[in-house]
Structure 1
């Protein structure tokens, strides 16, 4: 009866009076015991407010529902259809807006609407995918800053495809803990390339030296990702490295010298088509003849087989606590052991490899110095070209 009186009163009430009544009706809808007849009447009243010609009234209703709880479906539809301030307020805070409605709002709304959606608590994967498909960089930055948003790998890829030139977007993606390792590696590699180009353009480094430092920096970053990657993520990372031409013999050797043979295991499995478990057993077998066969089947350079054998022997000789460290850092002792093994190689084969290993020694020593005293002194630039072995990409 009271709600019916409201319906009569609303026909002559001012917009400010109807806006004030919106909060009362919403609280009654959620908190008051209502008969079936009352429920029908209050639904009529709320739909009337949602369709009100006054933006003040619609906004008051949206804010009231955003604070109190879910709104009836018809009321939601009426508010969202306007795509105005009231709709944005409801989209930003309303608990009753479902994923399908949000996807429709992404498709039909403007940047303000999309930004409100991107900032919502717990943005679902379908909604994030819709934003990745059509939203502007500014809106995507809001989404990436939303730590509660569920963003799928395909949505990350779509953002990168559409706005990969944006430095702000790259940085925001790298700050996401759920960014897949293969995408993180791609972004880091891209940034290393840009930095190398910058140093060459400024005349600070020669192209050869800048290129060498770029590869080394990217490889160091890749090993840091490998150290944290799950088995599934590592497989996807290897697929990316093969496709991008960044899976090099230098990187594979580095992985062993970081006491983490997982990258070599997964890479050999991908390159040969052998089961990963079989490759893992081969690497752990003391007889290196089986490893040599897999190594050659993968198409790795025959002249470097001795170095890989020495590195595997060094891994096998590690104490348990060192073998399980997986921190992506080179082991100085292991690098020196491989250098000793290379002394038996011919000068033609050993030359480029020894140059690479000496760089590994410098890196490992610098890390040790850094642990003892921070900050470590900056290395003086030199113009030594990076060895070809460090840049030789593998074909699948």
Structure 2
């Protein structure tokens, strides 16, 4: 099927400008328009063959502007022919990078070859792909510079396991650029947090302690000023601790499992932390504490509370908070968690006004910070 036979989908003017355009701008505009039209899943096999011939012709154009129009328009298309994708990947950066970063047609082996043979921006493009398999990640660790490694370290779509983390720290442990980038990941294993915490910048440390669970001893040490510019909110660390029993045990052994932190944790919506704290202070298993707190009627909470040694004046506030927890649901995402916390505080205080002033100020300031932190994400999502 010839180019002429595609005219049912393309205008004569499109093809004339592509083949005979007097300047690069005209040909680039025609190339973009043609690529948009032929990137259709509805083409027959014969039409797809003709479309591939047109794409190959565009890829051989001497003008950078024309080849870039092709690269940008079809950078995420599954219909970009493999041979053209590989050809574009070897082109200049402005043409290669969009294709390398976005094209779904590359195999892991082809991406690894790009990592091993191409410099700079092309490595960074591989690192920035929506998904990066472990073999490609390992290749980047071995061959990338700090810039590309920083990009893949922060990329939630990049597959890091224990081996990848360990090799990254071995090669880039002295690079604050790379170590800081790991902090941007949505999930960071606690053992990796422990290994990089001394290697990150002060700014990254602040983000690390806000966003990720710290090993309990390190959390307590930082809260006590082991690193001067780091402050750890142990209440919010309770919300991300993966081993809650160990975290509560560490707080107790360091004298930090105070009535204030328990009440604050509950009013912040960290229910599991509250349960484990009550269980430890009462000297009962967590399962029994959970039953007494949530499922034993009004006397259950009173019974387990009285075994903790906590001030009796806190019981009405705790009861109001637990009743509120049972009456509201948490919506999805960070926005849902923030709304849950606000409703928890508002309804608890409506039922009981005797929360100590310093604890109330803390809770309200943290709610304000929640909403301030959530606004940039909301703007990005919008």
Normalised by the length of structure 2, the TM-score is 0.50
Higher relative contact order (CA 8 A, sep 6+): 1
Normalised by the length of structure 1, the TM-score is 0.48
Structure number, greater radius of gyration: 1
